[in-house]
């Protein structure tokens, strides 16, 4: 078991990342490739999509709930990169609606190839809110359940692309360094017998931690990627699955927490969305050595201390079993490998 991670070490590392490190400007060619970027109508997703278009991608799909905003982003990307007409497309995707996720995935399967699925879409809210028609709270639905539902639905297409074109596609999930700051406090409600399952506890406003909900969802992403890829041999597996931390950025993700978030951005020297997006593009083209890994500052990084404990490994298995069960109830027979 690793030594307890001192808070000062975490903050020292975070401050160094924000104050002293600038992610390198992407230069790797994406010529001939098809890229899907979720949540790409604004912020990090839009900037990442711009990089892909600038680097010669044959098709860049902007997947967003707000299609009107996505169309504006498309025009901006075309004007900036001077890419050919038809390279950038806007497709509707609402991660709060399972049917929207399924329809989007079905449409993706009509493409001749998918070289990268960059799952950037996410929400951060202080107020607890269940999603009408969904089975879980808003942030768990969006950041976790629907994100991995889409990942599982598109994995066969990514594997097909790998075999057809003899390349190494990527499935990259945007997470956060904030996963270091939580141990999923709602699990105590299960241990104390107040709830039968972790998802049940997460869906109870009485046991749900509001301020920690976003970090909890990000930790769940890290745990799911790790558990998923432990069952997949690195050697010979045709798709790189990883997760990436873009750092603390000036994005609309924290708009529900203003003005506290604004003050934090000043102190932490928040990255611009363009600079933060460089980490996303890097992860989406990184080597096989990043399969199953957590990336930060454009390299494989150490996950939070809790993840590396025996208790963390137990919670990882619990999160996997429950989220996979939820997804199978949404889409029976779904393939995960």
Catalytic residues: 214, 218
CA distances from 145 to 152, 291, 320 (A): 11, 21, 11
User: Residue 118 forms beta bridges with which residues?
Assistant: 37, 172
Distance CA(89)–CA(41), nearest Å, equals 11
Tokens encoding 296 = 């930060």
Taking CB atoms within 8 Å and a gap of at least 24, the contacts of 187-196 are 187/315, 187/318
**Torsions phi, psi for 136 (to 5 deg):** -135, 170
Tokens encoding 50 = 């711009």
> Is residue 242 within 8 Å of residue 264, measured between CB atoms?
no
Q: Which residues, in sequence order, are CB contacts of 103 under 8 Å at separation 6+?
A: none
Tokens encoding 102 = 């399924």
Distance CA(50)–CA(62), nearest Å, equals 10
> Is residue 43 within 8 Å of residue 78, measured between CB atoms?
no
CA 2, 8, 11, 15 torsion: positive or negative?
negative
């Amino acid at each position: 078991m690793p030594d307890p991670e001192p808070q000062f070490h975490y903050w020292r590392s975070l401050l160094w990342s924000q104050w002293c490190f600038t992610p390198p400007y992407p230069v790797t060619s994406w010529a001939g490739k098809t890229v899907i970027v979720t949540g790409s109508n604004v912020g990090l997703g839009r900037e990442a999509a711009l990089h892909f278009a600038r680097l010669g991608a044959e098709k860049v799909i902007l997947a967003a709930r707000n299609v009107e905003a996505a169309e504006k982003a498309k025009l901006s990307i075309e004007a900036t990169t001077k890419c050919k007409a038809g390279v950038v497309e806007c497709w509707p995707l609402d991660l709060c609606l399972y049917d929207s996720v399924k329809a989007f995935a079905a449409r993706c399967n009509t493409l001749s190839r998918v070289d990268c699925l960059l799952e950037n879409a996410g929400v951060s809210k202080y107020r607890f809110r269940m999603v009408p028609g969904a089975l879980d709270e808003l942030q768990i639905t969006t950041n976790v359940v629907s994100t991995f539902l889409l990942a599982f639905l598109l994995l066969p297409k990514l594997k097909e692309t790998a075999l057809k074109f003899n390349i190494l596609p990527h499935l990259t999930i945007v997470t956060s360094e904030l996963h270091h700051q939580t141990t999923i406090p709602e699990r105590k409600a299960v241990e104390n017998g107040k709830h039968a399952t972790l998802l049940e506890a997460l869906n109870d406003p009485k046991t749900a931690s509001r301020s920690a909900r976003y970090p909890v969802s990000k930790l769940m992403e890290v745990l799911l990627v790790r558990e998923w890829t432990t069952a997949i041999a690195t050697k010979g597996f045709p798709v790189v699955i990883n997760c990436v931390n873009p750092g603390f950025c000036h994005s609309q993700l924290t708009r529900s927490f203003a003005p506290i978030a604004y003050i934090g951005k000043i102190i932490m020297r928040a990255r611009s969305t363009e600079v933060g997006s460089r980490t996303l593009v890097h992860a989406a083209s990184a080597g096989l050595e990043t399969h199953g890994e957590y990336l930060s500052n454009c390299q494989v990084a150490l996950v939070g201390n809790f993840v590396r404990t025996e208790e963390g490994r137990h919670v990882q298995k619990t999160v996997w079993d429950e989220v996979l069960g939820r997804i199978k109830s949404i889409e029976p027979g779904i393939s995960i490998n």
